[in-house]
Structure 1
């Protein structure tokens, strides 16, 4: 049985002030496989409101799908926090879990016969940068990726 953590543990930041040109949206989801599709839909909806290019939106959906899937399948988290930040030059996607494993996800080399194991390699190929921030508290990590936009959105 997975440990129960209070929902406030994820502590998503409040929306950024519009004065600096950064737009952000955060949301939490339960750590269930159905949350992968919900995260994609929430991301797509927010990007549509911001006028984000559709083609880049597909890449962003792939990234959030990979991160949420990994949190659901490979951690003992109960809640998953998602944060998307958009400024004129980049889109940053963060997924935070509250799992007890202290190490972050690692890309691996899947064999040709394996169905899984290529997601983080895809993220690495599509993102300008990506990484993992392990929290200083007793558990959890944030996996993040930054997608370049090329021009101001």
Structure 2
């Protein structure tokens, strides 16, 4: 990944979401994508990953897959260090996120979903 990769990926994601009628989730999705790409740049040897945007009713699922077996971990505590807050941010701005380990153990997919809570059916009247 080059130094401008996150900016280009955000632009692609924004165009995809706006064109799909999901403009209201673009800010959260862009921020979460930026954090996951930053994790690839910092922690994945070779800085290579695969990114997938999947439309779902009312929102989007974004997947960032790499070949590094090391699992991401949210920062612990409220330290003022330079790193470690990316997954805390992802957790704060998305509806759900998680990690799926490849069956062979040679990599993982970190994913998040935004906007899906608004697709839930309304609660029945009381």
Q: Give the TM-score category using the shorter length.
A: 0.7 to 0.9
Match of 2:54 in 1: 85
Which residue does 2:12 correspond to in 1?
42
Structure 1 spans left out of the alignment, 5+ residues: 1-30
1:135 to 102, 122, 126: 102
Report matched runs for 1:25-104 at 5 Å. 31-53=1-23, 55-99=24-68, 102-104=69-71
Q: Is 1:115 aligned to 2:85, yes or no?
A: no
Over aligned residue pairs, what C-alpha RMSD do you find? 2.0
Q: Scaled by the length of structure 1, what TM-score is found?
A: 0.68
Query: Once the two structures are superposed, what CA deviation does each residue of 1:20-66 show, in whole Å capped at 9, x if it has no partner?
Result: xxxxxxxxxxx33321112111111111221212x410100001101
Q: 1:32 to 1:138 in 2, by over 3 A?
A: farther
Q: CA deviation at 1:92?
A: 0.7
The aligned counterpart of 1:8 is none
Q: What TM-score do the two structures reach when normalised by structure 2?
A: 0.81
What stretches of structure 2 of length at least 5 have no aligned partner?
121-126
